[in-house]
Chains A and B, each alone.
Chain A
Amino acid sequence: MTVRRVQGSEVEYGIAVQGQPHANPMVASTHVVNSYAAAHGLTRRARWDFEEENPLRDARGFDLSREVADPSQLTDEDMGLANIILTNGARLYVDHAHPEYSSPEVTNPLDVVLWEKAGENVMRLGAELAAKIPGTAPIVLYKNNVDNKGASYGAHENYLMRRDVPFDQIVEHLTPFFVSRQVFTGAGRVGQKQDGSVHAFQISQRADYFEVGVGLETTLKRPIINTRDEPHADPKKYRRLHVIIGDANCSETAIYLKHGTTSIVLAMIEAGFLTRSLALSAPVTALHDISYDPTLTQKVELEDGRTVTALELQGEYLRLAKEFVAREGSDEQTDDVLRRWESVLDRLARDPMECVRELDWVAKLALLERYRERDGLDWDHAKLHLVDVQYHDIRLHKGLYHQLIRTNRMDRLLTDDQIAATVTDPPRDTRAYFRGMCLAKFSKDIAAASWDSVIFDLPGQDSLQRIPTMEPLRGTAEHVGRLFETSNTASELFAAITGR
């Protein structure tokens, strides 16, 4: 058993124009993306290729008609908004009214942390560069999910899975896991209910915005299990599990555990190892109830009549994972994830504050409680809401998460140098290598690209030439590294690949 699996993440950033609360967020987001593109020689701005995108394809086997779809679900219609591909294989674009960074495909959870963190650097620089446009006010970006007035924006995960796994198995075994994993993936929020009308802390930023168990939507009536079925790969072999229930994490440990533990549960589902149901009687209610209780003692009811805490549910998945590993064997990163998962659950059970150096919601709650104690503040006080939002400010000198890192009050998994390298370099072990290297070496000859293709506009050729990349584990450094070393032009590269 292994946490190794093709995966990635997408983060929509909150955006504010300083001193201009009514500024158009689409315009500001476009400035961020275009400023980054212009400063990095991505001036031709290879366009995103939408040919293989099917946002209305449902994993349960039907298509939602365009007529009944909410306009916000039509993500494949090129709105003319900024949309570029980076040399590290990521996509940087404007989604609805937020700048978004989609990491390149990687093969393991620690690499997700690396390339997701690279995205924070990209966004930080994009915002700094945008501020230099004459006549623009400073733009500030937040890696969070809520404005506490009713709006929420996503931080999604993607996992490549075998197509032949029955979707109802995924729903059955993943739902209780997703409802309870917030005890370590939560980013913490001041305010309960979508509009923040209840003045209290809760563990998860996103929990209140989930209203149904299973569904296709991502912008309204959000489901715990999203059925969007766009594999961006050979659809006969793969599905892409599109996970929309996560919080945007600043903590490296939280991102790592989120992807690591989810990868483990998916491996058990694929192997048919999970046979006993842990189905909840009311998953959506349980999701909210767990989020509202930072003491982690809230009980939720299972369909079989038992009542359990989120920690007990997680403990059950951990126990099964250890059993599965004992049978199947594992590898170094899988063992590391299991160790950290167990350690975090043990310490959360003793006293959540023991995880103050590792988890976002605990670190944030610790700050909030200290302010409450020192200044005698109630949960409706603006200062506490400010601490909540500013925790996620991605500027190094303003963000409170960064303040905790700088003063060595939170643990890290990575170094700044490692992250800086992944801002420019693609992962070497997926097709993102091919995509990123094409952009790095031949960006002026690339007309468009997407997860599953790169389209060349070659000198002397009338028509565009499309190279499909339907296999996520092909196009790696091992496969095509030499071609990039030996090809001096895009035409040479294209000829070497296609024999034309």
Chain B
Amino acid sequence: MSEQQHKSTRKASEPEAQADTTEVDAERKEKLDDDVDSILDEIDDVLEENAEEFVRSFVQKGGQ
């Protein structure tokens, strides 16, 4: 069973191409920064509205 389940897994990280030049790095960083902006925008949309109130009232009883 478990062998089949592995079909959907990604190969453990392939080494990144070694030929990165500084220029490519900069381009990649810019792309990453764009992605970062879009992540935060998306998350802003789902974050609970009143952070302070939420955090103050998140009180749990101890468990194991």
Q: Which residues of A contact B (CB under 8 A)?
A: 12, 14-16, 21, 25, 72, 95-98, 108, 110-111, 114, 146-154, 156, 218-219, 244, 332-333, 336, 339-340, 343, 347, 354, 367, 370-371, 374, 381-383, 385-387, 389-390, 397-398, 400, 403, 407, 409, 411-415, 418, 428-429
Q: Are A96 and B61 in contact (CB under 8 A)?
A: yes
Q: Complex: how many Å from CA A96 to CA B62? A: 8
Q: Are B43 and A400 in contact (CB under 8 A)?
A: yes
Q: Complex: how many Å from CA A339 to CA B58? A: 39
Decide if the interface of chain B is mainly helix, strand, loop or mixed. helix
Q: Are A25 and B9 in contact (CB under 8 A)?
A: no
Q: Given A386-B47, A390-B48, A407-B39 in contact, is the A149-B59 Cβ separation under 8 Å?
A: yes
Give the nearest-CB partner of B52 in chain A: A382
Number of B positions contacting A (CB below 8 A): 32
Cross-interface CB contact of A413 among B9, B42, B64, cutoff 8 Å: B9
Q: Which residues of B contact A (CB under 8 A)?
A: 1-3, 5-6, 8-10, 12-13, 36-37, 39-40, 42-43, 46-48, 51-52, 54-64
CB proximity of A349 to chain B, nearest CB, Å: 13
Q: Are B39 and A409 in contact (CB under 8 A)?
A: yes
Q: Are A25 and B61 in contact (CB under 8 A)?
A: yes
CB proximity of A436 to chain B, nearest CB, Å: 15
New A-B pairs, 19, CB < 8 Å, besides A12-B63, A148-B58, A336-B9: A25-B60, A95-B64, A96-B64, A97-B60, A108-B2, A114-B5, A146-B60, A148-B55, A333-B3, A343-B13, A347-B13, A354-B13, A367-B39, A386-B54, A389-B55, A403-B43, A407-B42, A414-B5, A418-B5
Provide the residues of chain A in CB contact with B6, threshold 8 Å.
110, 332-333, 336, 413
Q: Are B51 and A386 in contact (CB under 8 A)?
A: yes
Q: Complex: how many Å from CA A153 to CA B13? A: 33
Q: Are B64 and A12 in contact (CB under 8 A)?
A: yes
Cross-interface CB contact of B12 among A108, A339, A385, A387, cutoff 8 Å: A339
Give the nearest-CB partner of A338 in chain B: B12
Cross-interface CB contact of B58 among A147, A347, A429, cutoff 8 Å: A147
Q: Complex: how many Å from CA A148 to CA B54? A: 13
Q: Are B55 and A385 in contact (CB under 8 A)?
A: yes
Q: Given A332-B3, A385-B51, A385-B55 in contact, is the A374-B40 Cβ separation under 8 Å?
A: yes
Give the nearest-CB partner of B35 in chain A: A409
Provide the residues of chain B in CB contact with A147, threshold 8 Å.
58-60
Q: Given A385-B51, A386-B48 in contact, is the A97-B39 Cβ separation under 8 Å?
A: no
Q: Are B62 and A151 in contact (CB under 8 A)?
A: yes
Cross-interface CB contact of A111 among B1, B36, B51, B56, cutoff 8 Å: B1
Q: Complex: how many Å from CA A367 to CA B36? A: 8
Cross-interface CB contact of B42 among A12, A95, A381, A403, cutoff 8 Å: A403
Q: Given A382-B51, A411-B10, A414-B8 in contact, is the A95-B63 Cβ separation under 8 Å?
A: yes
